[in-house]
Structure 1
């Protein structure tokens, strides 16, 4: 195995051309493909690395390819900048039945003519090869397999692909590690590796410390391709847990309060280890301008929003007004896409935060910008609302109870309850709900009533008085021990 991962091989000429017609059909069907609804007009090769030599029963290629698409699904529409995707392509003479779900297609011409190609992450041997490359610190062409030398990676761990819907792909190794492979690739420092490494250095126990990672060095630019972290055994994600408790009619407030404390621990650790900035009038106005622009675009795309637009705009104008009067806010690095599905709870009841990539649709530079921590809080409050609407029959007051408990738990650690800044919290909740309306209208129309119910509340919240909230008691900082699987 180690010989295979340390060889540098040259892919055959014409490889991408032989795959092109198959990838045009297969790629748009993948959950992680960002350009749904627009045809793929072609591909260009960013990098290709042959991971197994040709001529055997199994060939293996690591590809970074750009998918070219028009801006709109109409003939003659201009093309937008092409997204780059990471593919691990296996090729065999024929697929065994166990790999049927991984089929990409049968190659008709070119260097792979007569062979069958498939998504190799479904196949144990290629995924074992990736772990061995990480364990040995291999370098293969432009690929760099790097690791934290203080953590041990055992060989022989049995891999299994996580088959639940994700915006990337994950492989679990023997309930010990999980490898997240990023599918949509951009050059630069990826927060999905940057922030967990920073939190590990700070001793924050709420995020599994990266064990190893995969990078590519291409044309003077660095790309993060994957991150290996300890696997939290027996953990349930927060969304599944909340739905389970809802189905039993159980209260979730205690879990929400603990999750609030965990979120604040992560925020305070990030503020200690990475720079913070102060947002004054100019910076806040820029934030507000972006929120108003997103509202205007959303109202054009989803007519159901239009009656509420004036009330929603008032949420943003109120924030700009406070900034104009001299109010300032602290911004720092945050999670960036926090919701119940980005949290894990161990069987012992401990919460972990995962997936620090941020919203993949946004530019990397924007995802790495310091932002008010309340942006993460607003995302979690919206997630409680979504969970509550999934209950049948609904449980009155469930979301409100969770929201209050989460904010109280957050205040116990941070010393500041997010509800004591209602203008800032309302602005970020409104911005998130507008995003949700557009998403649901495009992808899940049956879910549209969920964010629209929040839109009605937020549009009318301008005159709501601030609730009386007891002063929080800050908790002690977390102990500087690393998380364990």
Structure 2
């Protein structure tokens, strides 16, 4: 292992987007090393690395944007981003650091889009007729993200995909299919690379128009819940119910556009039964790991049994795949905009590209309304009044979203309760595992949702 690889092996597990937390790294290898820009002997230099991490017999690839400078030229404000000191790209001792924190280097990255192309292993692409405005430095967005997003002024946002899978990323694929829709940020370009052993190029990053002044859906929802719990008045709840209905209509419009632009199919009753069997397997695995879930497993199984007996073909298409309030933003005048169509980033791209029922996205958003209400009760576990108000908020907004979805031309959730209920439970089981592994103090949120839901139809909760 080289000195560079040793430093990355220490730094990598501390990153929010590293998916193998808590598991010792047994091997680190830099598979690809590309210098994208250089500013002279002292730097700064911008490097793009593809790093393979081996853990417990499995390996994952990650993209690392690396900056390097002569030790004496590192600005004080970049000290927090430092990874270590080692020789880099034929130069003697250099300070290496996270390039996403360096405005000089992110500005160089944007400039590469102004002259796209190249036939090397890393290529910058833009959509036909797109002229990229340069001159801005990238500002890194904070928050819980599985990738790294850089905002350039009020023009662009560059989303760099950290966990890499071979082939085109669904986020780029679906955004291009929806290009021209008012419900997505317009794609402008992307970065692609050839990974060892794969013929198809892999998407490294996607450049989109930035929508300034928009409000994150999760923040908007939880702020509304807090106002309700503080007794500000029922009119606030009514206002957000209107937003939930609009979001439902918007979601249906996006699903319809995806169905027009990309392939569709139907699942036979036999295939539906096989899908239900897979849900049962996930439930058994989760119940073995989280004993609290086992108390409700038999009731969840009843919902899966109902799903397995659906005797009508189930329409399937390309969907969002990881749909929740954190994946939508509310603009000042244009309504809701959907983000992050890549699906669950820990799942291989080939699986994320499979067709699925759009009701799976609906179920994801309904679970998110429950989360917005439930997570605010984590610090108030013994207040029946607050719990009733929060659950009431979730129920009203779930109902409004379902009505909006049907009004927007989507499948009416009220007429497909067995399907929707199974997808909701499947998502909640996933959440139980996630919280148990990553945020144990949040475990009560999905568990209480399951406990409440086992005897109540989805849209009626």
Indicate whether the TM-score tops 0.5.
Answer: yes
Q: Report which stretch shifted further, 58-67 or 380-389.
A: 58-67
User: What is the aligned partner in structure 1 of residue 306 from structure 2?
Assistant: 318
TM-fit CA distance, 1:386 = 0.7
TM-fit CA distance, 1:349 = 5.5
- Alpha-carbon spacing, 1:466–1:404, altered in 2? closer, same or farther (3 Å): closer
Cα distance in 2 between the residues matched to 1:121 and 1:420: 47
Report the TM-score when normalising by structure 2.
0.90
TM-fit CA distance, 1:197 = 0.4
User: What is the aligned partner in structure 2 of residue 29 from structure 1?
Assistant: 14
Q: Which of residues 384, 397, 402 in structure 2 aligns to 1:407?
A: 402
2:154 counterpart of 1:175: yes
User: What is the aligned partner in structure 2 of residue 279 from structure 1?
Assistant: 267
Q: Which of residues 216, 219, 226 in structure 1 aligns to 2:205?
A: 226
2:108 counterpart of 1:129: yes
Report the TM-score when normalising by structure 1.
0.86
User: What is the aligned partner in structure 1 of residue 36 from structure 2?
Assistant: 51
TM-fit CA distance, 1:17 = 1.3
Q: Which of residues 175, 189, 193 in structure 2 aligns to 1:216?
A: 193
Q: Give the unaligned 5+ runs of structure 2.
A: 229-235, 378-385
2:293 counterpart of 1:305: yes
- Describe the SS at the equivalent of 1:248: helix
Q: Report which stretch shifted further, 24-33 or 247-256.
A: 247-256
The answer to whether the 8 Å contact 1:234/1:347 transfers is yes
Cα distance in 2 between the residues matched to 1:109 and 1:237: 40
- Alpha-carbon spacing, 1:57–1:273, altered in 2? closer, same or farther (3 Å): closer
> How does 1:466-485 map onto structure 2 within 5 Å?
none
TM-fit CA distance, 1:378 = 0.5
Q: Which of residues 35, 48, 59 in structure 2 aligns to 1:62?
A: 48
Q: How many residues align?
A: 436
Q: Give the unaligned 5+ runs of structure 1.
A: 1-15, 71-78, 468-485
> How does 1:82-481 map onto structure 2 within 5 Å?
82-94=59-71, 95-107=74-86, 114-139=93-118, 141-200=120-179, 203-219=180-196, 220-249=199-228, 250-251=236-237, 252-322=240-310, 326-348=311-333, 350-391=335-376, 393-394=386-387, 395-396=389-390, 397-414=392-409, 416-461=411-456
Cα distance in 1 between the residues matched to 2:138 and 2:458: 54
TM-fit CA distance, 1:206 = 0.6
The answer to whether the 8 Å contact 1:17/1:110 transfers is no
User: What is the aligned partner in structure 2 of residue 473 from structure 1?
Assistant: none
* 1:242-301, Cα deviation, whole Å (9 max, x unpaired): 122222222110111111011001000011111111111221122112111110110111
- Describe the SS at the equivalent of 1:336: coil
The answer to whether the 8 Å contact 1:18/1:113 transfers is no
Cα distance in 1 between the residues matched to 2:335 and 2:253: 13
The answer to whether the 8 Å contact 2:287/2:297 transfers is yes
TM-fit CA distance, 1:55 = 2.5
Cα distance in 1 between the residues matched to 2:88 and 2:100: 24
* 1:347-385, Cα deviation, whole Å (9 max, x unpaired): 226100010010011121111111010000000000001
The answer to whether the 8 Å contact 1:339/1:379 transfers is yes
Consecutive aligned runs of 4 or more in structure 1 exceeding 6 Å deviation: none
Cα distance in 2 between the residues matched to 1:254 and 1:466: 16
TM-fit CA distance, 1:329 = 0.9
